[in-house]
Amino acid sequence: MPGLMQPWPLTLDRFLEHAGRWHGSTEVVSRSNEGPVTRCGYADIHRRARQLSRALLEHGIALEDRVATLAFNSARHLEAWYGIMGIGAVCHTLNPRLPVGQLAYIVNHAADRVLLADVLCAPIVRELSSHCPGIERVVLFADEAQLPAGVAATAYESWIAGRSTDCPWGGFSEETAAGLCYTSGTTGDQKGVLYSHRSNFLHGLCSLMPDVLGFSRRDVVLAIVPMFHANAWGLAFAAPAVGAKFVLPGAKLDGASLFELMETEGVTFSAGVPTVWQGLLQFLEREQLRPTTLKRIVSGGAAAPEALIRAYQEKYGIEVRHGWGMTEMSPIGTVNAPPDLATPTTEQGRAIFGVDLRLTDDEGAEVPQDGRTPGHLNVRGAAVACAYFRREADGILDAGGWFDTGDIATIDGSGMLRITDRAKDVIKSGGEWISSIDIENAAAAHPKAALAAVVGMPHPKWGERPLLIVQLKVGQSSTAQEFLDFLEGRIARWWMPEAVQFVASIPLGATGKIDKKQLRAALTRPA
């Protein structure tokens, strides 16, 4: 027997409809890639997003058609998300840091019809256009005067100007596809995660719970995590849902630029990957500055070293929540809200509502949740992928509906998850697993270390042994012995790195995380 409640499909247009109507004058602040900061209200974003919808409809974009964006975080990118999704088209976010060959592959695979891009990305667009004949129109986030020469593109401002805001939003099934994001990989191996309105809607709401992101209308939210990767962790849905002032930083994510934006806009909450937080921390230490309004940050996407968490909590009184997730999970899986600022939260936390976890051995049998036994981390949930786009026939779930994350973890009796490695990064020494993450965390605590990474190196006796790679802070010098002495007592004896190598810079991947694939390739390449 159906309940007697109003039908109200969970479609994403509702987030901006709500913000535009009830928080219309709350500010959305953007720093453009060209420099100046612009500000408007949610009502303006709502109006302009609807004008964009009209432009798309008049171009011929229909339900389920793919429209790509190639842009950093900005108000116009936010308008694009809602303008595209509002009419039931699919917003395919492209990562400008990916090599053009990979971008071309995914644009063609997704059959994107229209591309909306930042002017800063015009050189990429120029190259892409020749490889992607399916793109019917390129629109650059610019006015006529800002259009660069040599790119056949429409100026966004002229495209939407004067258009009616009268267009149908929503009115389709909540199961309709809303967004598409390809996970990183080598060419040909990228896999498209196709979010639905329902999955993003539920993820957006669950992410707002007090022990997850937990921000409110009284917060000023800085979205450092990019809108081109994994839904910006749901921030572009959660901020309008509560009517929080929303700050979008564009492409400049260095410590100085972020600090300036935080201080001038009164940012209280932000989210990003650990390398961004390292960059800000080094800036604060170097310049002897303190954030005056920032209260809480979420660090996720890669393990946050204890030293980083301690520095923010103990020195600056800023709460650090350590989160784990992945593109296939929309992306948040677990979050660790620390009990107090004296306690570092190195574990990745507990499952958020809507996510179920379990650990299995190599044969698929469940392993105990005793905080000691590592296993393959499997997930299920309302916002977890069940197949990849246009690869639907390749099953990615087991018979029980579980998805294998490719991560190795332990879970303790209280449900606390600790990621020990990615399955492909695991170091197997004498038949036992060594956690590269734990060694990295310990090494990153050395005051001279800017970044630390650990990879396995072949060893005649043990199979593999850990190799520690360190990028020192600017102006520092050190020796392998100094680092080995530092690790003494901080990690198990048999985990001690076989060697320590210093490099000028540790390579970061397209999402700002340490890229171990590149690192390994560089190390094995003959000098």
13 vs 407, beta carbon nearer ligand ADP: 407
Q: Which stretch binds ligand ADP (CB under 6 A): 167-175, 200-208, 404-412, 517-525?
A: 404-412
Sequence-separated contacts (24+) of 261-264 with Cβ below 8 Å: 261/31, 261/37, 261/222, 262/222, 262/291, 262/293, 262/294, 263/291, 263/292, 263/293, 264/37
The answer to whether the beta carbons of residues 95 and 229 sit under 8 Å apart is yes
Tell me the closest approach of the beta carbon of residue 510 to ligand ADP, in angstroms. 7
Task: Find the catalytic residue in 319, 328, 347, 440.
Answer: 328
Residue 52 sits in the site that holds ligand ADP (CB under 6 A): no
Is 183 noted as a catalytic residue in this protein? Answer: yes
Measure the CA–CA gap between 134 and 114, rounded to whole angstroms. Answer: 9
Q: Which stretch binds ligand ADP (CB under 6 A): 28-36, 237-245, 400-408, 486-494?
A: 400-408
Tell me the closest approach of the beta carbon of residue 406 to ligand ADP, in angstroms. 6
243 vs 300, beta carbon nearer ligand ADP: 300
The span from the first CA to the last CA of the chain, in angstroms, equals: 71
Give the DSSP H or E segment for 39: strand 37-41
In the window 297-326, what residues touch ligand ADP (CB under 6 A)? 300-303, 322-326
Residue 418 sits in the site that holds ligand ADP (CB under 6 A): no
DSSP-assigned states of every residue in 1-35? ----S------THHHHHHHHHHSTTSEEEEE-TTS
Return the half-sphere exposure (C-beta side, CA atoms, 13 A cut-off) of residue 266.
Answer: 7
Pull the structure tokens for residue 248.
């979008």
140 vs 377, beta carbon nearer ligand ADP: 377
Could you tell me which of 37, 38, 92, 34 has the C-alpha nearest to residue 61? 92
Distances (CA, A) of 148 to 42, 77, 151, 412: 29, 19, 7, 56
Residue 511 sits in the site that holds ligand ADP (CB under 6 A): yes
Is 265 noted as a catalytic residue in this protein? Answer: no
For 406, the 3-state DSSP assignment is strand
89 vs 302, beta carbon nearer ligand ADP: 302
DSSP-assigned states of every residue in 189-240? --EEEEEEHHHHHHHHHHHTSTTTT---TT-EEEE-S-TTSGGGGGHHHHHH
Tell me the closest approach of the beta carbon of residue 149 to ligand ADP, in angstroms. 34
Q: What one-letter code names the amino acid at 47?
A: R
Tell me the closest approach of the beta carbon of residue 254 to ligand ADP, in angstroms. 21
> Is the link from the previous residue into 331 a cis peptide, with omega within 30 of 0?
yes
For 164, the 3-state DSSP assignment is coil
The answer to whether the beta carbons of residues 44 and 16 sit under 8 Å apart is no
Tell me the closest approach of the beta carbon of residue 361 to ligand ADP, in angstroms. 19
Task: Find the catalytic residue in 27, 183, 295, 513.
Answer: 183
Residue 383 sits in the site that holds ligand ADP (CB under 6 A): no
Residue 517 sits in the site that holds ligand ADP (CB under 6 A): no
Residue 93 sits in the site that holds ligand ADP (CB under 6 A): no
Is 428 noted as a catalytic residue in this protein? Answer: yes
Fill in the per-residue mask, 183 to 222: x = in contact with ligand ADP (CB under 6 A), - = not in contact.
xx--------------------------------------
Q: Is the dihedral of CA 147, 151, 152, 154 positive or negative?
A: negative
Residue 106 sits in the site that holds ligand ADP (CB under 6 A): no
Is 328 noted as a catalytic residue in this protein? Answer: yes
Residue 438 sits in the site that holds ligand ADP (CB under 6 A): no
Fill in the per-residue mask, 343 to 372: x = in contact with ligand ADP (CB under 6 A), - = not in contact.
-----x------------------------
Single residue of 102, 231, 268, 327 touching ligand ADP by CB under 6 A: 327
154 vs 348, beta carbon nearer ligand ADP: 348
Interface contacts to ligand ADP, rule CB under 6 A: 183-184, 230, 300-303, 322-327, 348, 405-407, 419, 422, 511, 513
Question: Known catalytic residues?
Answer: 183, 328, 428, 433
